[in-house]
Structure 1
Amino acid sequence: MSAANPVPRHRAYRILVGAAFRGQLQYRGNLLLTLAGGVAYQGIGLVFLWTLTTRFGDLGGWSMAEIAFLYGMRVTAHGLLMVPTSQLHYLDQSIRTGEFDRYLVRPAGPLMQLLCRQIHVPTLGDLFTGVVVLAVAAHQVGFRPTPAALLYLCLALVGGAMVEGACQLAFASFSFRMMSNLALRGLLDDIMNTFGGYPLKVFPDTARLGLTYLVPVAFVAYLPAGVLLDRTDGLHVTAWLAYGAPLVGPLLYAAAYLLWRTQLRHYSSSGT
């Protein structure tokens, strides 16, 4: 394509992702091992929750099947995010090594180029684990797959992925000023992974508010799961906010992308 007729962004994204994935397929033994590692990592979290409910009966009035449904939603949303965006974690490295300079002189957007630089295979294991756990748990809790429920579930999973993605993108954008804030994004990851699979009812009021309005963990899976499991009466927010949880993701991601564009102006090459 000529400069006057550039490749459309959606096509450029497919081309770059396809090339990155084909690169990973060159090492199939490593591919299988890393996939197994992703499944094992998320499976350990579920086993820990099962141990807690076996010992204490339930958590905040949620049965093990309901918690597994919540956990499946959380891990599926996380997988939907990480499969296409895991390379955001390499932003600091690309700035320090000067790799990011190349993104600025190519016709494709710098964020797209960063996200397509490679495929992090274990994230496929996250997505696979989440889908399997969610499907099994949905059967156990008697989830009725009506068109409305399935539509809300799909919107909630995508919206939950965008909530977590918005937080990561917003934090990452400050790397253009700080050169490195990977520790801060690691802390965000820890918060999401540690608290995202639990019914927030088990935490004190202050923690619930923080995990809803400061770090919006509740909007990733807890509030949508409450709607799908008909538990809106036991949530710490109004029912309309729980039903509208899938809309929070796109709104936060739009704001995070605007912040990214603003902070990108402050990028200064490392000179390497």
Structure 2
Amino acid sequence: MSTLSLYFALMAAGLKGELQYRLNFVIWVAMGVIYQLTGFVFIWVLLSRFQQLAGWSLGEIAFLYGLRLMGHGLQLFVFGYIHMLEIYVREGLFDRFLVRPVPVLLHLVVSRFPVGAIGDFGSGILLFLIANSLVNVDWSPAALAFTALTVVGAALLEAGLKLMVASLSFRFLSTRSLVFVVDDVFNNFGNYPLKIFGGATQFFLTFGIPVAFIAYFPATVLLGRTGELAVSPVLAYLAPLAGAIVFGLAILVWKHELPQYQSAGH
């Protein structure tokens, strides 16, 4: 069985297990939707008073917000339990990933079915579709392909950064807080146009923790706003590639750090 087929088989088994508790399943999905849309309600209240934010209308920010949420939801769906690595290592539970005939990283990401990701991804799609009715985007085949690649690239970029940090658990044991710091940076800065931040912050969010590549750069391409960028528009058009690059680097870090693991029996 190929790795991809194995992934879908394990996820299907996980979903079947979660559906045994249907009320709990529905509650988790609903909580994901409510949590994510509550964040946008704050922006809506703000813009109902000031009309624009750094020259961006409510529809444009909703477009950016929805794009970011779709990437985030996809990341949670595929890689949602990366943050659990520290706990597995510290409590000696990681041994079970090493003795089963399944690739270790694959086993980690499918260790549980990420129910909450359905709410996150679904709310992203909903917000994106609503925003699309408020903005003027030329949905050519190229634009559709760029959007799809953006969502995949965003998921890979976010997952890659979290995997890099989580991989350090094999060496330092305690890294979960750093994973959540990365998550907070994406949540607090990824939903807004970078124009609202100062130059140093924009630089950090582009070349430090590259949040700009998640949704802001792609949104400027689709909305025809690349003229406002403080960097070359070429970076915006190449934004989906950033995710592949970061995730590729994360795999190298993972492979380098995995041999550092020592089982609880040592």
TM-score norm. by structure 1 comes to 0.95
Separation (CA, whole Å) in 2 of partners of 1:256 and 1:40: 31
Cross-structure match for 1:198:
192
Cα shift at 1:84: 1.4
Q: Give 1:130's aligned amino acid.
A: G
Alignment partner for residue 18 of structure 2, among 2, 12, 24? 24
Cα shift at 1:73: 0.3
* Cα shift readout 1:157-206 (whole Å, capped 9, x = no counterpart): 11111111111111111011111211111111111001100001000000
Alignment partner for residue 48 of structure 1, among 22, 39, 42? 42
Cross-structure match for 2:75:
81
**Contact kept in structure 1, 2:68 and 2:215, CA below 8 Å:** yes
Cα shift at 1:145: 1.6
Cross-structure match for 2:88:
94
Separation (CA, whole Å) in 2 of partners of 1:103 and 1:122: 23
Q: Give 1:32's aligned amino acid.
A: V
Cross-structure match for 2:166:
172
* Cα shift readout 1:129-165 (whole Å, capped 9, x = no counterpart): 0001011101210222211110111111111111111
SS in 1 for 2:53: coil
Alignment partner for residue 114 of structure 1, among 108, 115, 128? 108
Cα shift at 1:96: 2.1
Separation (CA, whole Å) in 2 of partners of 1:244 and 1:141: 23
Q: Identity of paired residues, percent?
A: 42
Cross-structure match for 1:124:
118
Query: Is 1:13 matched with 2:7?
Result: yes
Cα shift at 1:8: 2.0
Separation (CA, whole Å) in 1 of partners of 2:218 and 2:20: 39
- 83-92 vs 196-205, which moves further: 83-92
- 172-181 vs 201-210, which moves further: 172-181
Q: Give 2:246's aligned amino acid.
A: L
Cα shift at 1:69: 0.1
Cα shift at 1:15: 1.5
Alignment partner for residue 134 of structure 1, among 120, 128, 132? 128
Cross-structure match for 2:237:
243
* Cα shift readout 1:24-69 (whole Å, capped 9, x = no counterpart): 0000000111111000000011101111212222111000000000
- 191-200 vs 98-107, which moves further: 98-107
Cross-structure match for 1:233:
227
Cross-structure match for 2:201:
207
Cα shift at 1:120: 2.1
Separation (CA, whole Å) in 1 of partners of 2:15 and 2:163: 22
Cα shift at 1:76: 0.5
SS in 2 for 1:99: coil
Cross-structure match for 1:220:
214
Separation (CA, whole Å) in 1 of partners of 2:174 and 2:76: 20
What is the RMSD computed on CA atoms of the aligned residues? Answer: 1.1
**Contact kept in structure 1, 2:68 and 2:214, CA below 8 Å:** yes
Q: Give 1:201's aligned amino acid.
A: K
Q: Give 1:182's aligned amino acid.
A: R
Structure 2 stretches lacking a partner, 5+ long:
none
Structure 1 stretches lacking a partner, 5+ long:
1-6
Alignment partner for residue 181 of structure 2, among 181, 187, 205? 187
Cα shift at 1:102: 1.4
Cross-structure match for 1:4:
none
SS in 2 for 1:265: helix
Written as runs of structure 1 = structure 2, the 5 A alignment for 1:32-43 is 32-43=26-37
Cross-structure match for 1:70:
64
Q: Give 2:22's aligned amino acid.
A: R
Separation (CA, whole Å) in 2 of partners of 1:249 and 1:87: 19
* Cα shift readout 1:206-227 (whole Å, capped 9, x = no counterpart): 0000011000000000000000
TM-score norm. by structure 2 comes to 0.98
Separation (CA, whole Å) in 2 of partners of 1:251 and 1:22: 34
**Contact kept in structure 1, 2:70 and 2:125, CA below 8 Å:** yes
Cα shift at 1:94: 1.1
